[in-house]
Amino acid sequence: MKKIFLLLSIGLFIISCSSDEDQIPQTRTPTLVKLEQRQFQDGVLTEKIIFEYSNQRPTIAQFYNGNNQLTYTSEWGYSNNNYLSSIKGYLPNGILSSETNITYDTFNRIIKTERAEENNTYLSTTNFTHNSNNTITSETNSNGSISSKVFEINNDGLIDKEIVNGNLRVSVEYDNLTPISSTSYSTSYNYTYQVNGSLSFSFQSIFGTNPINVVLFQNYLDNSIGSLTTKLVNKITSSSSIREYVYTLNEDGFPLTKKNYHNSELKDEFDYFYE
């Protein structure tokens, strides 16, 4: 499960077209064919991940350790509607290590996710009940352990609150599809964005047109806050941390590289490849 959530958290801004409200006009829209990410700890390369894309959708992600040895491969499968329907993870010897399957209803809403890992010794099923009062009830059975939470949907059709045992765990304030502030476990964050440049893709499209699916797939609002916007986040600040993002852009204003810093320490580098 770690690899699945890692893929989603690092791929928040790298998929397909968002709404016109959230886009900065560009002269040309490129097609992403590959993305390479490098992760660092104390200045040392710890992991490299190479994503391959087809039709602006991830199809394969390969993980390498700091010595450039392959450690894991994930394959992303899509339904006839081009919605993400499965992710399969393989060890370097080709053995299937994990599998995730997604079920949608006729309204293009995720209603169930099923995950199996470690030779089926870890099994997790989450069912989502879409209520009539703009809330979604999530119930997860992980090897017999039951947990539940509630997501609230705002007037724009976006999930903006996550509630666990009656307590507000995460909340987000949006401007259209762009988060401008959030609170997670009592810590508040503020977001600023670059004036120039944008992404031509958001994470939403691989789940269809319904923006709630990004949150439901992960079953966490915290991991999904920036998944819908195409704006380039410049800085995320809280009382205890500063995350800064530095880009180089091509002539059309799309990123060629991105560097992520946490309290001035380099954490990630990204290289974008287009056709």
pLDDT attached to residue 126: 98
Amino acid at 105: D
What is the spatial distance between Cα 14 and Cα 85, in angstroms, rounded to a whole number?
18
- Other C-beta atoms within 10 Å of 72: how many? 20
pLDDT attached to residue 275: 86
- CA dihedral over 19, 23, 28, 33, signed as positive or negative: negative
Are 111 and 128 in contact by the 8 Å Cβ rule? The answer is yes
What is the spatial distance between Cα 140 and Cα 133, in angstroms, rounded to a whole number?
21
More confident residue, 230 or 99: 99
- pLDDT digit string, tens, across residues 161-202: 999 999 999 999 999 999 999 999 999 999 999 999 988 677
What are the φ and ψ backbone dihedral angles of 146, each rounded to 5 degrees? Answer: -100, 135
What is the spatial distance between Cα 84 and Cα 214, in angstroms, rounded to a whole number?
11
Overall pTM > 0.85: yes
Pick the range with the lowest mean pLDDT from 198-212, 231-245, 261-275. 198-212
Percent over 90 (pLDDT), the chain: 78
What is the spatial distance between Cα 70 and Cα 1, in angstroms, rounded to a whole number?
18
SS3 category, 56: coil
- pLDDT digit string, tens, across residues 5-31: 545 544 443 333 333 344 444 456 788
54: Cβ–Cβ under 8 A, 6 or more apart, which residues?
Answer: none
Are 215 and 159 in contact by the 8 Å Cβ rule? The answer is yes
| pLDDT band (50, 70, 90) for residue 123 | very high
Residue 271 in this model has a pLDDT that exceeds 50: yes
Stretch 92-110: mean pLDDT:
96
Are 115 and 99 in contact by the 8 Å Cβ rule? The answer is yes
What is the spatial distance between Cα 112 and Cα 47, in angstroms, rounded to a whole number?
31
Q: Give all domains of the chain, ordered by start, each with its CATH number.
A: 2-274 (2.40.160)
Burial category of 273 from C-beta neighbours within 10 Å (exposed 0-12, middle 13-18, buried 19 and up): middle
